Amino acid sequence: NSSTMKNIILSVAVLGIVLLVNSCVSSGLKNEVELNRFKELKKATWLVGFWKSESKEVFMSEIWKLENDSTFTADALYIMGKDTLSSETIVLEQRGKELFYIPKIKGQNNDKTVEFKLTSSTSKNLVFENKTHDFPQKISYTQITSDSITAEVSGKENGKASSIFFSFSKQK
């Protein structure tokens, strides 16, 4: 009977539309959950890019990139004259609801990483701390403008308060 066949086709079509709408809603919710899952890392998106600081004596750069949905990585280079003072790789990684700044400096700490945990943040400032590290115990980044950031490493060194300040400009 043709009317029964039309009803079956209509029922299948309606079921298909319901499944499609349900799938789109679920997908949208999943994407929203992913964004919420990595909201600590999302606070640091202004770090992504090529940052440089240069004077007559010293050249410094940090190149930050998005590695995956929970991780940024950076290659940092510090050169004085013709000598490389240090090179490091940095991982900025969100685990659960916590964000970690994890540098690995060639020739230091037996070439092992050191973890600094995010202890405070605003939309333009990130502060990471590891009170058990020799120096620094605190690393902070501040966005001055979209093309300018500062970084500061601080803490106690040989029992005395010490701080080193860096200014970077974004390269295009």
As a three-state string, the secondary structure of 93-119 is: EEECCEEEEEEEECCCHHHCCCCEEEE
Per residue in 60-117, pLDDT (tens digit) is 999 999 999 899 999 999 999 888 888 999 999 999 999 999 999 988 888 899 999 9
Spatial separation of the C-alpha atoms in residues 150 and 55, rounded to whole Å: 15
What confidence score (pLDDT) does residue 169 get? 98
pTM of the model: 0.78
Give the tokens for residue 117.
């945990």
Q: Mean pLDDT lowest for which of 2-16, 86-100, 136-150?
A: 2-16
Mean pLDDT of the chain: 83
SS3 127: strand
Q: Hey, CA dihedral for 139, 143, 147, 150, is it positive or negative?
A: negative
